[in-house]
Structure 1
Amino acid sequence: MATHPSGPERVTESCVDCGGETTHDVRVEIRTESRTEENAEFSREPYRITTCDECGTETATRMNNA
């Protein structure tokens, strides 16, 4: 379970590469999933992006898996 050590953009969570609990920088990014320009405006989805402060591993998780 994530905790908030020093602000809403910093959380402590498990890092697969480090093998333990580390602080992560967290942000939300809107990404375009369509590879063609024709439908790009309809394929924008929010992603939760975490970056480990210890090793720099970045993980992107799609937030809208409908």
Structure 2
Amino acid sequence: MSVPQPDSDEVVEQCENCAVKTPHNVSIKLITESNKEENTAFSREPYRITECSQCGAKTRQRMNDA
């Protein structure tokens, strides 16, 4: 299987779905973790979002797991 070359905004990573290293679009997104109306501004956490350019599988990983 031929692996496509990454664009400048892509990172080559192991894809759990494809089971090979493929180009991924990677971004950081702030996600609100609280469902409560009050203090939602304090419940946002950064997540690393990846999307495989080959199969479209998406993953998200919380960056501040303590």
TM-score (norm. length: structure 1): 0.84
Q: 2:26 corresponds to which residue?
A: 26
Instruction: Give 1:6 deviation, angstroms.
Output: 3.8
The number of aligned residues is 61
What CA distance in whole angstroms lies between the structure 2 residues aligned with 1:38 and 1:49?
26
- Largest Rg, 1 or 2: 2
Q: Percent identity?
A: 51
Q: Deviations over 1:15-49 (max 9, x none)?
A: 01111110000000000000111131110000000
Task: Extract unaligned runs of 5+ from structure 1.
Answer: none
**Structure 1 position 44 matched with structure 2 position 14:** no
Task: Extract unaligned runs of 5+ from structure 2.
Answer: 1-5
CA RMSD of aligned residues (A): 1.1
TM-score (norm. length: structure 2): 0.84
* Runs of 4 or more consecutive aligned structure 1 residues displaced over 4 Å after TM superposition: none
What CA distance in whole angstroms lies between the structure 2 residues aligned with 1:24 and 1:42?
30
